[in-house]
Amino acid sequence: MKKSNDLQRVRSKRKELKTAMLFDNQISNQKYLTATEAAVYIRSTVASVRAKARRGDLPQYRSGRKLLFKRVDLDRLIETSRNGGFR
């Protein structure tokens, strides 16, 4: 049973990395990013991006039901975390 869970985790991580590589090439020129694209951009998880938005650490925008983030806000978040001001 444990072996099966480990295998699933590895497959999931591999799929996540493949997705990240694909998005990485596409998102560099976009002004607004979805939660998934934002997570890839800042090398985090979608849940973490949504949590940061919910706490007010990351400005968010909506287009219908879609949650969007400005790339400049994500860049600012990355810079803040490099300076030790973000957890």
Q: What is the pLDDT of residues 34-81, one digit of tens each?
A: 999 899 889 899 999 999 999 999 999 998 989 999 999 999 998 888
What is residue 6's predicted lDDT score, i.e. its pLDDT? Answer: 78
The Cβ-side half-sphere exposure at 74, using a 13 Å CA radius, reads 26
Architecture of domain 2-82: Orthogonal Bundle (1.10)
CA distance 76 to 74: 5
Averaged pLDDT for residues 10-23: 68
CA distance 56 to 19: 27
